[in-house]
Amino acid sequence: AEKIVTVLGIKPVRTERMARNKSDKKRRRRRTQKQKQKEELSHEWNFVSDAGPGCYIARSDIPRQHSSTGTTHKDSMDWILGFEDIDPRDFYGQDVPDLAMDPEEQTLTICNIHATTRVCYVTVYDTVVRGKDGEILPAGITFDNAGEKQSCVTFIVLCPPRTFAHLCYLDVPPDQSLEDVQMDSDVQDWNQHPNP
């Protein structure tokens, strides 16, 4: 049963309804705050590395620190060697591949000399891959068409226009060459979702 209370001679109010309205307002406020936090995080970073072992994502447009807390993302891009702005005129008349390996430095680089942002998927099989600080990037596993297990590291990179994305170092044994490294890649113009 609802109680009716007279407060300082003012008309009666229903205490249960007031309490319910207050709790509804608090719930809505909490929901709004949580929604804002979710939106902020999804704009800044939307990948959990534990969900995809051996998968590394790089975007030059995502900050490495959370804007409101200042904390570094666990899934930040500390592994990438770096993004390098380039002038396509420096490569005039040359056939620049989408993916290049430097035999001296043993690095793997995505080359985007185009005026568009490109999305790049690169998987390196059965090769030790090292990040910026020389630390081994933990690999995931996959199975080939014959059902054989292989270790693999996959990079998903959003490469800005006129940029080289230097991904990693490849540990190639002295008795092998970079040409022996098994890789798959898919590089194409990025079609941004209209309502991400």
Length of the chain: 196
Nearest Cα residue to 181 out of 158, 149, 151: 151
Taking a C-beta distance cutoff of 8 angstroms, is the pair 54, 152 a contact? yes
Taking a C-beta distance cutoff of 8 angstroms, is the pair 88, 162 a contact? yes
Query: In angstroms, rounded to a whole number, what is the distance separating the alpha carbons of residues 46 and 99?
Result: 25
Q: What is the DSSP letter of 135?
A: P
Q: pLDDT tens across 89-127, in order?
A: 998 889 999 999 999 999 999 999 999 999 999 999 999
Contacts of 1 (CB under 8 A, 6+ apart): none
pTM over 0.85: no
The tokens for 147 are 């059902």
Bigger pLDDT: 77 or 126?
A: 126
Q: pLDDT tens across 140-196, in order?
A: 999 989 999 999 999 999 999 999 999 999 999 888 888 999 999 999 999 887 876
Both ends of the chain: CA-CA distance in Å? 49
Q: How confident is the model at residue 11 (pLDDT cuts 50, 70, 90)?
A: very low
Taking a C-beta distance cutoff of 8 angstroms, is the pair 163, 83 a contact? yes
User: What per-residue confidence (pLDDT) applies to 6?
Assistant: 38
pLDDT higher than 50, residue 71: no
Minimum mean pLDDT range among 24-28, 51-55, 122-126 = 24-28
Helices in 9-77 by DSSP H: which ranges?
15-44
